Amino acid sequence: MIQENLTVQTRGFSDVIDLSSYINDFLEDIDGEGILNIFVPGSTAGITTIEFEPGCIYDLKQALEKIAPEDKTYRHNERWGDGNGFSHLRSALLGPGLTAPFKDGHLLNGTWQQVVLVDSDNRARERKLILTAHLS
């Protein structure tokens, strides 16, 4: 097992960050094959895959807004007063991590498939990510 922590600066409000360069840098010196786990600690960000292009990113943000709108009343906000109830729901739907196969330093993803971090919190954040490679 090989593990690395990294930090990514985000803007919040469903900011979508392409993690391809981070993943490629992490995997480039790993020979063999296995699985890679990408995990974001916390309950207001998620990891998923998407074609990282402006149209898809816009559509993803619109879908998240439709499913869990920012301006709705959330009991979480009533309890804690932090106004980020929507971000917890969006992140729960995406999930905190993703596992994908790799071989000889490359993720075995599709041509138009990028791994992304979606930070749904209601403010900019410095997000910690944990990359863990498990060799077969």
| CATH architecture classification, 9-135 | Sandwich (2.60)
Residue 60: CB atoms within 10 A of its CB come to 18
Task: Return the closest-CA partner of residue 24 out of 6, 41, 42.
Answer: 6
The yes-or-no verdict on residue 128 having pLDDT over 90 is: yes
- Summarised one tens digit per residue, pLDDT across range 37-66 is 999 999 999 999 999 999 999 999 999 999
Domain definitions of the chain by residue range:
9-135
| Res 7: pLDDT | 97
Q: Give the 3-state secondary structure of residue 83.
A: coil
Asked whether the predicted pLDDT for residue 78 surpasses 90, the reply is no
Instruction: Please check whether residue 135 is in contact with residue 30, taking contact to mean a CB–CB distance below 8 angstroms.
Output: yes
Q: How far apart are CA 46 and CA 90, in angstroms?
A: 8
pTM over 0.85: yes
The Cα 10–Cα 20 span in angstroms is: 16
